[in-house]
Amino acid sequence: MTAAILYRDELKEYDFGSGHPFRGDRYENFIKFLKSHASLEKYYDILAAEPATLTDLLRICDCDYIDFNQEYYHAASSGWVAYFEDFNHYHTLDNKPIGTPGELEGAARLIIGQAKMACDLVQAGRYKKAISIGGGMHHARRRFGEGFCIYNDVAFAALYLIEEYRLERILILDTDAHAGNGTAEYIQENPRVLFIDIHQDPHTIYPGTGFASDIGIKNRAGMIFNIPLPLNASDASYQAAFDQIILPVAQEYKPQIIIRNGGSDPHFDDGLTNLGMTIAGFRMMGEKVREMAEICQGKLIDLIASGYNNHVLPSAWLSLLSGIADFPATVEEPVPVPPQLHQDTILPETQKVLDEVKKYHHDYWHCFR
């Protein structure tokens, strides 16, 4: 079945300025790369969403935070950043633009609007899979932005599906190299959401959260999975995590829909991270996610934005989405694969992590007994 790809040229405004790791040209570059594979055109429709309204944003944010973002980021695009002394009250410094950025707040609203449209398209049965280019802002919280994230579309999608469609079992799978601390905060007490987060060892990377022992609190114990992979964990480590934990748990949980977020930053040449995935590994990951989605009749919301090597990003995104949406695309590795990654020497260390995760969840899931 054809997949919906949500994209508008205005996404390029999600740009923190020259010299910042997060630039808005990633979106346009990916769409050009996608369209260069002309044989894939019949497998997707590119659709344009409307930006989120204030009512939409109030589902996930406090009003004063929204007001600050509107005023600050509009001023920043005109070069008036220095006049806002309360920036640190609402954001960490990694969300501070450099030079002259794009219209960040407007683009952030568009990302939320795309998440909303993706939910509506899938729930209406128009598409089984809806892919939001620019989505996955998993560090943002209700009144605080960080990690290049302003509004959390992952949390929005889950809450929107619960409030508007009365869904009872939503599975969020976060495959970004960084732990989704913002998403975890939003859903930590929500009984309708299972959160599985596979990421680099938090001892070694921002935001320093997402340890295997973090399994949820009170009556939510066992409903949050953190799978912290060791440095340089490659394709075999990810495959083991899917086969031993992610897929068995999904099969037991029987979600009504899956929300996945994460881009190319687990790639071995990302620049900001220290994992070891290859382009072929992203295809494998996408295929595993597509297999998971069969549990819920193929229903998947996919949110993709991250990655910090512009040479690698389009290839990794397309390889990932080809697995997710079953695109018949062959995507080549744009950089030489280090010899040590051809055989994942980290796999024994990964297995220790997986065994630890199973131990912490043993009492909550039959698949580990």
Q: Domains of the chain (ranges plus CATH)?
A: 3-368 (3.40.800.20)
Q: What is the share, in percent, of the chain residues with pLDDT greater than 70?
A: 99
User: What is the CB-side half-sphere exposure of residue 176 using CA atoms within 13 A?
Assistant: 32
- Binning pLDDT at 50, 70 and 90, where does residue 117 land? very high
Q: Is the pLDDT of residue 272 over 70?
A: yes
State mean pLDDT over 285-314.
Answer: 98
- Binning pLDDT at 50, 70 and 90, where does residue 31 land? very high
Q: Which helix H or strand E contains 257, and what residues bound it?
A: strand 257-261
176, 172, 144, 150: which is closest to 160 by C-alpha? 172
Please enumerate in sequence order all residues whose Cβ is within 8 A of that of 326, keeping only pairs 6 or more positions apart, or say none.
43, 290
366 is catalytic: no
- Binning pLDDT at 50, 70 and 90, where does residue 174 land? very high
For residue 260, the model assigns a pLDDT of 98
CA–CA gap between residue 29 and residue 92 (Å, rounded):
28
State mean pLDDT over 262-282.
Answer: 97
Would you state the torsion angle of the CA atoms of residues 252, 224, 130, 152, taken in this order, to the nearest 10 degrees?
Answer: 170
CA–CA gap between residue 120 and residue 324 (Å, rounded):
19
For residue 79, the model assigns a pLDDT of 74
For residue 99, the model assigns a pLDDT of 84
pTM: predicted TM-score of the whole model, two decimal places: 0.97
Please enumerate in sequence order all residues whose Cβ is within 8 A of that of 218, keeping only pairs 6 or more positions apart, or say none.
189
- Tell me the pLDDT of the chain averaged across its residues: 96
- Binning pLDDT at 50, 70 and 90, where does residue 81 land? low
Which among 20, 37, 91, 139 is annotated as catalytic? Answer: 139
